Amino acid sequence: MSYPPQRYFGEHGEHSGVYRSAVQEPELVYRSGTDVHYLATGGTTGGAYGLYRWEMGPNPSGPSAHFHRTMTESFYVLSGTIRLYDGVRWVDGRPGDFLFVPEGGVHAFRNESGEPASMLILFTPGAPREAYFEELADIAATGRALTPEEWTELYRRHDQYMV
């Protein structure tokens, strides 16, 4: 394993860090009570990664089993209990627990605890996941019903393959 190719060629470094306060409002709010904070998107990291704080309310929520062809996904539980599926078994993820899923790895997550829970979700490389999250939130908020074919197309556009 070696370091990746050099991406910065300046001599003295840049003053380019981006600070985000913990109290900043979420960029996306789902009807289920989940707030999503876009900590670092693929667009802001030059495609390196996307990092999101996922704050789930007490209502059951989370996707069914799926996989991605173009990106890895990692989960780090911050608070509460989040059910994590590694493609073989479900485990109750508690604060400090971590799950890494490589490309093609079947996975899912759910909050079924009846209590709020939060986690960090990391995608590498930084795909434009915000568009997917926002489209799902819009479908839920408007009550729009998609056909099975429309769901398949939405998932395909966003590298989401349901199992």
Per-residue pLDDT reduced to its tens digit, 33-60: 999 999 999 999 999 999 999 999 999 9
Number of separate domains in the chain: 1
Give the pLDDT of residue 34. 96
Query: CATH code at 45?
Result: 2.60.120.10
Domain hosting 94: range is 28-162
- On whether residue 13 sits in a domain, the answer given is no
Per-residue pLDDT reduced to its tens digit, 100-114: 999 999 999 999 999
Give the pLDDT of residue 161. 97
Confidence band for 115, pLDDT divided at 50, 70 and 90: very high
- On whether residue 23 sits in a domain, the answer given is no
Identity of residue 27:
E
Identity of residue 122:
L
Question: Whole-model pTM?
Answer: 0.94
Give the mean pLDDT of the chain. Answer: 96
Give the pLDDT of residue 120. 98
